[in-house]
């Protein structure tokens, strides 16, 4: 056990996030598109969201954006980045997005 961890009865580590982890969180939340994606996934009752639905939602929330362009940016840039950081699961073949548990833990950081 390291100094940053405290044993607790539930067995869950209370280690403080590393600088790398915090950098990932800040990078993930840097762009309004990614914040909108995470917020939508948190609010949505469905386990899986399709890219078309997500693209329509994101483009409706961001003024002056074209839905087709938004879908393309989500598919090629924003969703893979969120998946790389472990905030979502993104299947590029089926174009389905699933939130990971971290989305619910991060919500207080980006809800306005």
Domain of 44?
Answer: 19-106
Residue 95 within any structural domain of the chain? yes
Tell me, what CATH number does 34's domain have?
Answer: 1.10.10
Interatomic CA distance for residues 23 and 10, integer angstroms = 28
Mean pLDDT taken over the chain: 80
* Mean pLDDT value of segment 23-31: 85
With respect to residue 10, please indicate whether it lies within any of the assigned structural domains.
Answer: no
Look up the pTM and report it.
0.75
**Averaged pLDDT for residues 81-87:** 89
* Element housing 50 (H / E): strand 49-50
pLDDT tens digit sequence for 90-104:
999 999 999 886 666
Give the residue with greater pLDDT, 18 vs 62.
Answer: 62
Angle separating helix axes 32-43 and 19-30, nearest 10 degrees: 90
Tell me the percentage of the chain whose pLDDT exceeds 90.
Answer: 44
Identify whether 112 is part of a domain: no
Whether 41 maps to a domain, the answer reads yes
């Amino acid at each position: 056990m390291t100094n940053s961890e405290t044993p607790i009865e539930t067995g869950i580590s209370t280690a403080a996030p590393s600088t790398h982890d915090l950098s990932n969180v800040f990078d993930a939340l840097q762009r309004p598109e990614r914040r909108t994606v995470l917020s939508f996934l948190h609010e949505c009752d469905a386990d899986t969201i399709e890219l078309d639905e997500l693209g329509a939602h994101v483009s409706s929330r961001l003024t002056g954006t074209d839905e087709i362009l938004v879908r393309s940016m989500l598919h090629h840039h924003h969703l893979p980045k969120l998946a790389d950081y472990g905030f979502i699961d993104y299947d590029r073949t089926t174009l389905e997005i699933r939130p990971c548990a971290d989305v619910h833990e991060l919500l207080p950081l980006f809800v306005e």
